[in-house]
Amino acid sequence: MDDRIRKFMYGRYGPDELYKFQMVLYFITLILGIFIKSKILSIVQLLLVASIIFRPMSKKIYKRSDENQRYLKIKNNLLKPFTNIKRNIKDKDHIYKKCHKCKTTLKLPLPSKRGIKHAKCPHCGKRITLIAFKCQKIEIITSKNKK
C-alpha cells in the first residue's frame, strides 16, 4: 500500500508552506462555522478544501512553486517588522536595534545600569539612543547599502 502511494505521488507537487497555511485557515473557518452560520463562510470552506486537495496533487510543479514563493514573500514582508522583537526575546545577552538612517540592524550589549546611553552606528555614523549599555563593540547583523 505504501508503495502505491509513493508511485501515485511521483511527479506531483506535494505539501508546502502555503498548504500548511491553508490547512490552518480551514480549521479556523471550521471553528468559526460552529458559531456563525453563514453561506459565505461555507463557500470559503469549500474553496479551501478544493485548494487543499488540488495543490499537492498537481503535476504543474513550477506554477505551484511560484504560488508558494509569492506567499512566502508576502509572509516575510508582513513579519519583517517583528524580527528584532523576536531576536530580543531569544537572545538574553544582546539587544537588537535598527538604525533609522541606513536601516542597519545592530547587535548591542545588554544594559548593565539604568539610564540613557548613546551608540554610534558603525555604518553611517548616526547617533542611536539606547537604554544603559556597556561600551562594547557593536556588531552589524544586516545592512542595506544605498549605493
Instruction: Per-residue pLDDT tens, the chain, 147 aa: give them.
Output: 778 888 877 888 888 999 999 999 999 999 999 999 899 999 999 999 999 999 998 889 999 999 999 999 999 999 988 888 888 788 777 778 778 778 788 777 766 666 676 777 877 888 777 665 444 455 566 666 654
- Is 106:126 a contact under the CB 8 Å cutoff? no
Torsion sign over Cα 62, 66, 71, 77: positive
Burial 38-69 (b: 16+ CB within 10 A, else e): eeeeeebbeebeebbeebeeeeeeeebeebbe
* Residues 31 and 99 both lie in one domain: no
Percentage of the chain exceeding pLDDT 70: 83
Question: Which residue type occupies 145?
Answer: N
Please tell me whether residue 70 adopts helix, strand or coil conformation.
helix
Dist CA 53 CA 72 (whole Å): 20
147 belongs to a structural domain: no
**What's the pLDDT score for residue 136?**
47
Q: What is the pLDDT of residue 127?
A: 78
Site of grid cell 511560484: 66
**What is the distance between the alpha carbons of residues 63 and 84, in angstroms, rounded to a whole number?**
33
Residue 117 to residue 78: CA distance in whole angstroms: 31
pLDDT computed for residue 62 by the predictor: 92
Residue that finishes a domain, picked among 40, 55, 81? 81
Q: What is the pLDDT of residues 95-137, one digit of tens each?
A: 787 787 787 887 777 666 666 767 778 778 887 776 654 444 5
In terms of domains, do 16 and 68 share one?
A: yes
86: in domain: no
pTM of the model: 0.66
pLDDT at 142 (0 to 100): 63
**Domain co-membership, 25 together with 63:** yes
- The pLDDT score that the predictor gives to residue 135 is 47
**What is the residue range of 127's domain?**
91-142
Q: Closest by alpha carbon to 11, among 56, 66, 76?
A: 56
The predicted structure's pLDDT at residue 82: 86
